[in-house]
Amino acid sequence: MDTNGDGVAQAAVTAAGYRLATRHPLHLEANKTKTLYLDQALAYDTRNGKEPQVEVAQAWAENRARWSGYLKAVDASRLAGVPDETARRVAVKSVLTLLGNWRAARGDLHHDGVVPSYSNPDFNGFWAWDSWKHAAALASFAPALARDQMRAMFDYQAADGMVPDCIYLDKANNNWRDTKPPLAAWAVREIYRATADKAFLAEMYDKLVRYHRWWFARRDHDRNGLAEYGSTDGTKIAAKWESGMDNGARFDAIAMLKNGDGAWSMDQESADLNAYLYLEKLELAEIANALGKARDGEQWTREAAAMKATIQKRMFDPSRGYFFDVKLGRDEFVPVYGSEGWTALWAGVATPEQAQAVARTMLDPKKFSTRLPLPTLAADDPRFSPVKGYWRGPVWMDQAWFGVEALKRYGFDKQADDVARRLVVNAKGLTEQAPMYENYDPLTGEGHQSRNFSWAAASYLFLVRK
């Protein structure tokens, strides 16, 4: 590091990071900036092999070409009500955040991938539903990395089809207590739409089928065709992790039910989980048809139609106009207004009348139409905690983007554009020189939790891409 030629006195390295100290105190003048330059060099360990020969000029040229390709892919980013320059800035920041979290294959991680946040040392691994979102976003500008992100998780697919929650450099630390919501087929389909890579579809199809079937074999306690979140060890905490919404208010009163050895379910069927599974059947049909598996495609389409009717009948509460989780064995809703309620619209499972009712709730200022819109729990819920609530009120950008797409899918284009605009202009620092955050305060727009968060970047890229 250099500050006007002063240089650096020492660099101390620890397991958690490193610290740089200047030779002399750094004096700052009021209202003036001082620039610090960090110069890094690769020191090759010749004890482990011969130092590779690198043509520096060629390497720099290839690097520039690669980055030009990344940025060209998002150059046409647009968002109604937002200056084009602002939309492109958000897109570029999204690309930089995702690529900044790129990690090469090493240890027991057999393919490259993207970690959730390099700013949080607890995130030194790959998580399943993070990976699905990362891959879908990467498909538009770094498709090779997108494919590897998917492969990294499926490298550890179990014989019964399960994919673990998260994987690490040391596979002994992998979390097999639960998996994560089923968005893998959606991510593969997004990669295919961006690349037309049928070889990748063929590589992934059987794996996706096994993972999809696993949900109904191990997480459908009453065998009624609707699944539940659960765990392999029977614990409530792992079952909540499986939802991805760790402390969601809808799970406050769950009990665990044993399905078999190493398979437990919550005692409630979740609206978002079954919407994801419905959509996955349609995605598997699309993939099967692209691979010339017409009979498979017809089967997936039939299954989707049957599941759609069941979700519409069982999980929509006409009196409240919203989709809710339902208790097993009885027609009893879990009446928590959360972001899971609009997943049915994102997946296309709602009727037009149901969608209209859900949209009214989403656009209600007392519930979800906050300054930064679409929090994960309605603002009028007594458990609403917009700063420290984690999944009890902060805005998580993946769920917010699902909400924008949900509105668009059912013709609420103007309202969707307004929500999307507010998600950009009211998130503090987003359009300026500041990092993207894990989640945001819906009342103030302040960012919270981990900085440089990958799925926030992926979601904002979805929001502004054209």
For 211-227, write each residue's pLDDT tens digit.
Answer: 999 999 999 999 999 99
Say what the pTM is.
0.91
CA distances, 465 to each of 137, 198, 437 (Å): 10, 24, 19
Are the C-beta atoms of residues 145 and 112 closer than 8 Å to each other?
yes
- Is CATH 3.40.50.10190 the classification given to domain 53-464? no
CA distance 424 to 456: 12
CA distance 308 to 29: 63
Q: What is the pLDDT along the chain (466 residues), one digit of tens a residue?
A: 455 555 556 677 776 667 777 777 778 888 888 777 777 676 767 777 777 788 889 999 999 999 999 999 999 999 999 999 999 999 999 999 999 999 999 999 999 999 999 999 999 999 999 999 999 999 999 999 999 999 999 999 999 999 999 999 999 999 999 999 999 999 999 999 999 999 999 999 999 999 999 999 999 999 999 999 999 999 999 999 999 999 999 999 999 999 999 999 999 999 999 999 999 999 999 999 999 999 999 999 999 999 999 999 999 999 999 999 999 998 999 999 999 999 999 999 999 999 999 999 999 999 999 999 999 999 999 999 999 999 999 999 999 999 999 999 999 999 999 999 999 999 999 999 999 999 999 999 999 999 999 999 999 999 998 7
What's the sign of the alpha-carbon dihedral 409, 345, 341, 207? Answer: negative
Cβ-based neighbour number of residue 76 at 10 Å: 13
CA distance 25 to 46: 37
- Structure confidence at residue 465 (pLDDT): 86
- Structure confidence at residue 88 (pLDDT): 96
CA distance 271 to 351: 15
User: Within its chain, how far is the Cα of 457 from the centroid?
Assistant: 9
Strand partners, 106: 109
Q: What is the DSSP letter of 2?
A: B
- Structure confidence at residue 23 (pLDDT): 75
CA distances, 343 to each of 106, 185, 321 (Å): 36, 16, 14
Provide the residue type at 462 as one letter.
F
Give the pLDDT confidence of 153-173 residue by residue, as tens digits: 999 999 999 999 999 999 999
Provide the residue type at 47 as one letter.
R
Grouping H, G, I as helix, E, B as strand and the rest as coil, residue 423 is: helix
If you search the block for the tokens 């760790």, which residue do you land on? Answer: 246
- Structure confidence at residue 295 (pLDDT): 98
- Structure confidence at residue 53 (pLDDT): 81
The structural domains of the chain, with segments of one domain joined by +, span 1-46, 53-464
Report residue 445 as tokens.
């727009």
